[in-house]
Amino acid sequence: MEKSENKKVIQFKIITIFPDFFKPMLEYGIFSRAYKKGLIGFETIDLRDFATDNYKSVDDEPYGGGSGMVFKPIPLGKAIKKAKSKKETKVVYLTPSGRVFNSDIAKELAKEEELVFICGRYEGIDQRIVDLYVDYEISIGDYVISGGELAAMVVVDAVARQVKGVVKEMDSVVKDSFYDGLLDYPHYTRPETYNGLKVPEVLLSGDHKRIELWREKMKLVETLTKRPDLLERAKLNDLQRKLLKEIKQQLRRLT
C-alpha cells in the first residue's frame, strides 16, 4: 500500500471469525484502488486469535437458555482493545437491532480517523461488550443475514466513498442517491432509441441549464413516487420546493 501525502487516511479494522471474507475488497474496484493508493487503511482481526482455550472457541451458550450461541466477552474485549490504536476510536457493531444505515451515518463515520467494526454471528455478542465498548449499533435493513461480515462490507464501502480522493470525481459522490436526502435521477446512454423507447429530448439538447433543471425535477419525481418517506426529512432548497409543488399538482391532475 502506498503512503498518501497531504490527504486524510481513514483506518478500517474488522473483528471477525472469517477474515478471508474481506479479501476481494482489496482486490477489485474503487475500494481496492483507494487502499493501494494509501487513501484508506484496512485490517482484519481474527477473533479466534484471542480465544482463551485450546479449541479457539469464541462463543458459548446463552445464560437463561435458548437456541444459538453468543460471542463471549473476554476474547471480544481483548480484540477490541488490540484494534483501537486511540482512545477516541469509534467501535461499530453490525446488528439487526441497530439504527438503519443511511447516507447521513456514512458521512458522520467518514469524519473519523479510525473505525473498528464488530461482525456478529449466531445470536450476537454479549451485551456487556455493547455497554462497555460500542459507540454505534448499525443495521443495513429490516432483514436477517448470516453474519455481520456482509453488513460491514456495505458500511465500509459507503463510508470510504465519502473520503476525498477515493472516488476520482467527487462530483459523482455529491450527485449519488441519498447524498442530499433524495434518490438519483434516471440515467441514459447510447443508443438514442432502444426497443422503441427514446432518450428524453432535453438530454440531447445540449442546453446545460435545462438538463440540470430536468435532473433536479426527476430526483424529486423518483423520490416522491418510490421513497416518499425520504421527503419528510430531506432539506429542500427553494427551487426544489417549487418543483415539488409543481410535480404534486401535475400528479393530482392525472388522477
Which residues are identified as catalytic?
96, 123, 161, 176
Contact between 163 and 34 (Cβ < 8 Å): yes
Task: Retrieve residue 225's grid coordinates.
Answer: 413516487
Q: Is residue 134 within a helix (H) or strand (E), and if so which, with residue range? A: none
The answer on whether 140 is annotated among ligand-binding residues is yes
The answer on whether 120 is annotated among ligand-binding residues is yes
Closest by Cα among 253, 252, 244 to 220? 244
Where are any strands of DSSP class E within the chain? 10-16, 40-46, 59-60, 70-71, 90-100, 114-119, 136-139, 193-194, 197-198
Q: For cell 448499525, what's the residue?
A: 138
The answer on whether 145 is annotated among ligand-binding residues is yes
The answer on whether 80 is annotated among ligand-binding residues is no
The answer on whether 141 is annotated among ligand-binding residues is yes
Cα(125)–Cα(253) distance, integer angstroms: 54
- CB atoms near residue 148 (< 10 Å): 27
Q: Which residues pair with 94 in a beta bridge?
A: 119, 138
Give the strand pairing for 10-16 and 40-46.
parallel
Task: Retrieve residue 104's grid coordinates.
Answer: 447521513
The answer on whether 143 is annotated among ligand-binding residues is yes
Cα(178)–Cα(162) distance, integer angstroms: 12
Cα(136)–Cα(156) distance, integer angstroms: 13
Binding residues for S-adenosyl-L-methionine: 120, 140-145
Binding residues: 120, 140-145
